[in-house]
A and B are shown apart, each in its own frame.
Chain A
Amino acid sequence: MNVTSVLFAFVALTLIKATPIAYAALGGTLAERAGVVVIGLEGMMAIGAFASVVVSNATGSPLAGALAGIAAGALLAALYALVAVRFGVDQIVAGTGINLLAIGIAAYGLTVVFHQAGASHEVPALGTNGEIVLVALAFACAAALHLIITRTPWGLHVRACGEDPHVARIAGIDPMRTRFLAVTIGGALAGLGGVYLAIGELNLYVDGMTAGRGFIALAAIIFGRWTPFGALGAALFFGFFASLQVTLQRAGIPSELMQALPYLAALVALAGFAGRAKAPAADGVAYDGS
């Protein structure tokens, strides 16, 4: 094996590991710019992964599966937006509920649909070409989201709601509608991250397959300073660690320590950036309609 092919394999693995985190982090960035913290990204990824496998299995079409996964992520996010935005409940607590609910539905559904616990059987997957498209699409999504947030009127509305929904209201923006839409689109992106895991990288659903990526995505949002390109960069950074871990594991270095690195890096970032990088001022603060 020559150096080029080793390097190529390493870069490819980094992209593979970064892509699902990137989708979730991009979705979460949009929601947080609108002022809604989405602790439930993990659950939205899980439900997206599960739905894509169920529909791909039922229809034989992985494309239909992918669309179903996006729709499932959006639907769960809409439920979250209903309680967190419309009813203004505590976003942290509701997000924890969303995670428990989604992972429960996937585990329950696994037994109901596939008559076995732990993992589904193999289903039609998107294949290598589909996987490459999804990796490229993540970069395209980051660019699109950047343009939407910084250059479009709706993006301005989103930012206004994230900084001060009351002032946004006075300016004629409907904060609830804007936040609802931002969270739902964010959920669709997180669902797509789940689709990538289930029928992009693999061809089945395994219980717990999201494995904390939704939480890493929350760290990537902070690392990326609430910008789409920042979130993408942070996801690539975490993907780099993940592929380093796979590579070093072959060399006999305990995998747990390497696996923990991105989370430890996130903790350091959390402590170090807290004073410098600023979250949207109204991030996580419910809007009560006044």
Chain B
Amino acid sequence: MTLRARLGSLRDLGLAVAIALVVGSIAMLVAGVNPIVGFSSLLDGALGNRSELGETLIQTSALLFPALGIALAFRGGLFNIGAEGQLVLGGLAAGTIGADLHAPALVAIPAALLAGAIAGGLWGSIAGFLRARFGANEVIATLMLNVVAALLASYLVNNLLHDPAGQSSETALVLANAQLPVIVPGTRLTIAILLALAAAAIVRYVLAETIFGYELRATGEAPEAALRAGIDVRRTALLAMTWSGALAGIGGAVIVLGVLHRFNGQLSPGYGFVAIAVALVGRLDPLPITLAAFAFGILQSGAVSMQAEAGVPREIVAVVEGVVILALAGQRFLGARKSRVR
């Protein structure tokens, strides 16, 4: 990245933070809370002690996977708005395998993660296929697929995959061997955060150094030229949506295997949508995305204690995230979409 792009990145991040502070303060004043009290309880709740920092990093990992997937698709000129559905199905698949597969941890964990990646990847590939084969708009397709994924997961968990010994709306407990190991004693922080960081490094490498990454960027930035240069833009679109979905699916898997230890309705408070904000703040570049995921992780985890201690409804987070997306939707790197190939 050039120095100029780096400075631009910092300026956008500064802008996003400033807007978040202003909008957050106004919302707190509406609720009759002193913004200084509100924000300090947010930061204290997210970073105040080891266990809280652990929760923040858990949120970071849950956001980083789908954000990397979204960035991958966006870089290829494909607007994957379907990370939420891909994440939910990834979580369900991982939870099912994790509860069912009696094997040592070295087999059980990779198998459950792989199940999540496959489920998310397949779901993403549907939109990719419809786009590549029929020229169907992937934005509308992924929005539809989000709703269908939620209904499909609800149907499966209520009818076929539910815990025989427990409630009808959740899967059985993930076996001990498939639960992600905790890496910091006294917290719930698991290897999920290390996997997420590794994923960021891999996506960065793939985008910058591989032929697929080059073809993906070329398709996103100048589809006409990519087509004339002999790049199979349809195949690239299909692959981009599949890998994008797979990353979101692993995001769902690490929440189930690392935190909830079963699939249920609490899986996602909208990670797939918040991850869009994360990817934008991070300028679709894996390294800044990682920092952005941490920043949004602070928001997500601090909001709970802010509600308890300062009396600010935690839904303020969605308001702030929405405004940040609006503020950053004008970035130049999104401009390539105007001239894309059907």
Binary CB contact string for chain A from 227 to 257 against chain B (1 if under 8 A, 0 otherwise): 0000000000000000000000000001011
Q: Which residues of B sit under 8 angstroms from A259, Cβ to Cβ?
A: 151
Q: Which of A83, A218, A254 interacts with B326 by CB under 8 Å? A: A83
**Complexed CA–CA distance, A39 and B82 (Å):** 13
Binary CB contact string for chain A from 32 to 49 against chain B (1 if under 8 A, 0 otherwise): 000001010000000000
- The answer to whether B136 touches A97, judged by C-beta atoms less than 8 angstroms apart, is no
Give me the interface of A with B, judged by CB distance under 8 Å: 37, 39, 79, 83-84, 87-90, 92-94, 96-105, 107-108, 110-112, 117, 212, 215, 218-219, 222, 254, 256-257, 259-260, 263-264, 266-267, 270-272, 274-275, 285-286
- The answer to whether B130 touches A108, judged by C-beta atoms less than 8 angstroms apart, is no
Binary CB contact string for chain B from 2 to 14 against chain A (1 if under 8 A, 0 otherwise): 0000000000000
**Complexed CA–CA distance, A90 and B340 (Å):** 14
Q: Which residues of B sit under 8 angstroms from A112, Cβ to Cβ?
A: 30-31, 313
Within 8 A of A (CB), among B293-341: 313, 315-326, 328-330, 334-335, 337-338
**Complexed CA–CA distance, A117 and B307 (Å):** 12
Nearest chain-A residue to B274 (Cβ)? A100
Report the number of A-B residue pairs with Cβ-Cβ less than 8 Å.
Answer: 156
Query: CB of B79 within 8 A of chain A?
Result: yes
- The answer to whether B325 touches A270, judged by C-beta atoms less than 8 angstroms apart, is no
- Interface residue count on the B side (C-beta < 8 Å): 53
For the residues of A in contact with B, the DSSP-based class is: helix
- The answer to whether A96 touches B325, judged by C-beta atoms less than 8 angstroms apart, is yes
Nearest chain-A residue to B330 (Cβ)? A89
Query: CB of B111 within 8 A of chain A?
Result: no
Q: Which of B139, B313, B329, B338 interacts with A97 by CB under 8 Å? A: B329
Give me the interface of B with A, judged by CB distance under 8 Å: 27, 30-31, 79, 81, 126, 130, 133-137, 139-141, 143-148, 151-152, 154-155, 158-159, 270, 273-274, 276-277, 280, 313, 315-326, 328-330, 334-335, 337-338
Q: Which of A97, A264, A286 interacts with B322 by CB under 8 Å? A: A97
Q: Which residues of B sit under 8 angstroms from A274, Cβ to Cβ?
A: 134-137
| Min CB gap A175→B, angstroms | 15
Q: Which residues of B sit under 8 angstroms from A264, Cβ to Cβ?
A: 144, 148
**Complexed CA–CA distance, A206 and B7 (Å):** 44
**Complexed CA–CA distance, A259 and B312 (Å):** 35
Nearest chain-A residue to B334 (Cβ)? A90
- The answer to whether B318 touches A219, judged by C-beta atoms less than 8 angstroms apart, is no
Q: Which of B276, B316, B328, B330 interacts with A88 by CB under 8 Å? A: B330
**Complexed CA–CA distance, A286 and B155 (Å):** 40
Nearest chain-B residue to A90 (Cβ)? B334
**Complexed CA–CA distance, A266 and B145 (Å):** 10
Given contacts A89-B326, A274-B136, 14 further A-B contacts (CB under 8 A): A37-B139, A89-B329, A93-B276, A96-B325, A97-B277, A97-B326, A101-B323, A107-B313, A108-B31, A215-B144, A254-B158, A256-B152, A256-B154, A271-B130
